[in-house]
């Protein structure tokens, strides 16, 4: 990633989303032909000179202080994730570029795999790493989302699945929201690992093959995956709504454990139980049979 270019575009897009009425600033008398604040207004809010802020937004090398970055973050009303990202890409401009050795292949340690297996019949759970590569998943997660382990290593990636596999658009009930979030998570990862050649390759491939990815990547939004709700349309058990919690795997950098749970007594809990029963049977067993009572529970 070119951090000068990224700093320029990130600041420009954050500035463009603000309106004068959103911030405490006096009227300027300018006729506005484009949305957002002007550089002069952001400089005023941040308490820096217009020339200094203009050079910062142009991506020109500056030994910018933490105090200035904090002031710019406040002026642009950045959230905590955006503020952290701003510091990351600004600091990268101050570091000497060094040729780095390729990052080691990420592997899930045996203890974490045993945790996943313990949840096999209880909750879908998986571990993803850099670039949102799917590193490991338990049996119920494979039944709900898909078995990434049967794919070549390069294809075991949630971004490639989301944008390049047509089945993903059917599986995710809110595909566009999921896809936008995944792009923002990848953008954050790119800021943390600017020299990752596999990430550069992934972004290039998705930008060529997906108009939506290319458009949303240009928005420069960033997001940390923490917790939330996902809705699936599973071909066997119907609609499944889950809450997810994402936690860092301590001791293994850039690995995140994600666990899905369904509300007790809900149709989604019934659906997950059916999937668990199915995956726990012999490999040649037929898909789960849904009783009339279960079918009524799953009806929207």
Alpha helices in the chain (DSSP H): 3-16, 39-46, 50-57, 66-75, 80-94, 110-118, 139-144, 158-164, 166-171, 175-192, 197-209, 211-217, 267-279, 292-298
- Between residues 290 and 71, the one the model is more confident about: 71
Tokens encoding 243: 């809450």
Domain boundaries in the chain?
Answer: 3-94, 110-298
Query: What per-residue confidence (pLDDT) applies to 26?
Result: 55
Give the separation between CA 192 and CA 194, rounded to whole angstroms: 6
Q: List C-alpha distances in Å: 30 to 37, 83, 292.
A: 11, 29, 66
Query: What per-residue confidence (pLDDT) applies to 3?
Result: 67
Q: Within its chain, how far is the Cα of 129 from the centroid? A: 11
Give the model confidence (pLDDT) of 160-184 as tens digits.
999 999 999 999 999 999 999 999 9
Query: What per-residue confidence (pLDDT) applies to 286?
Result: 45
Give the model confidence (pLDDT) of 210-252 as tens digits.
999 999 999 999 999 899 999 999 999 999 999 999 999 998 8
Give the separation between CA 120 and CA 139, rounded to whole angstroms: 5
Q: Does pLDDT of 292 surpass 50?
A: no
Name, in order, each residue with C-beta under 8 angstroms of 156's C-beta and a sequence gap of 6 or more: 133, 134, 135, 148, 149
Give the separation between CA 23 and CA 87, rounded to whole angstroms: 22
Beta-bridge partner residues of 244 = 228, 260
Query: What per-residue confidence (pLDDT) applies to 91?
Result: 81
> Region 59-87: what's the mean pLDDT?
90
Mark 252-262 as b/e (b = at least 16 C-beta within 10 Å): bebbbbbbbbb
14 in Cβ contact with 56 (< 8 Å): no
Topology (CATH) of 3-94: 434 Repressor (Amino-terminal Domain) (1.10.260)
Query: What per-residue confidence (pLDDT) applies to 298?
Result: 37
- Pairing status of strand 125-128 against strand 134-137: antiparallel
- Between residues 124 and 287, the one the model is more confident about: 124
190 in Cβ contact with 201 (< 8 Å): no
Tokens encoding 299: 């009806």
Could you give the angle at the alpha carbon of 290 between the alpha carbons of 287 and 296, nearest 5°?
150
Q: Does pLDDT of 297 surpass 50?
A: no
Tokens encoding 234: 């599973």
Topology (CATH) of 110-298: Beta-Lactamase (3.30.450)
Q: Does pLDDT of 288 surpass 90?
A: no
Cα-based torsion angle of the residue sequence 129, 132, 133, 135 in order, rounded to the nearest 10 degrees: 40
């Amino acid at each position: 990633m070119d951090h000068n270019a990224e700093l320029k575009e990130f600041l420009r897009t954050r500035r463009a989303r603000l309106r004068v009425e959103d911030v405490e600033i006096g009227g300027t008398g300018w006729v506005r032909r484009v949305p957002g604040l002007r550089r002069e207004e952001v400089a005023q809010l941040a308490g820096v000179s217009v020339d200094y802020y203009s050079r910062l937004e142009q991506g020109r090398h500056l030994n910018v202080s933490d105090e200035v970055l904090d002031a710019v973050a406040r002026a642009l009303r950045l959230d905590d994730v955006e503020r952290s990202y701003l510091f990351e890409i600004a600091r990268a401009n101050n570091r000497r570029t060094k040729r780095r050795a390729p990052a080691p292949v990420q592997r899930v340690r045996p203890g974490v795999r045993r945790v996943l297996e313990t949840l096999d019949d209880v909750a879908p759970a998986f571990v993803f790493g850099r670039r949102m590569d799917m590193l490991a998943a338990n049996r119920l997660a494979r039944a709900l989302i898909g078995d990434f382990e049967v794919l070549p290593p390069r294809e075991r990636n949630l971004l490639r699945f989301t944008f390049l596999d047509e089945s993903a658009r059917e599986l995710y009930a809110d595909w566009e929201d999921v896809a936008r979030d995944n792009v923002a998570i990848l953008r954050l990862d790119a800021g943390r690992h600017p020299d990752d050649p596999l990430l550069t390759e992934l972004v290039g491939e998705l930008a060529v093959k997906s108009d939506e990815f290319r458009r949303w990547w240009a928005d420069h939004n960033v997001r940390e995956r923490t917790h939330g709700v996902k809705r699936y349309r599973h071909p066997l058990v119907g609609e499944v709504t889950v809450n997810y919690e994402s936690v860092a795997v301590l001791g293994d950098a850039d690995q995140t454990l994600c666990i899905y749970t369904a509300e007790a007594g809900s149709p989604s809990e019934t659906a997950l139980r059916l999937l668990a029963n199915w995956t726990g049977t012999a490999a040649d067993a037929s898909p789960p049979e849904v009783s009339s009572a279960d079918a009524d529970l799953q009806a929207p």
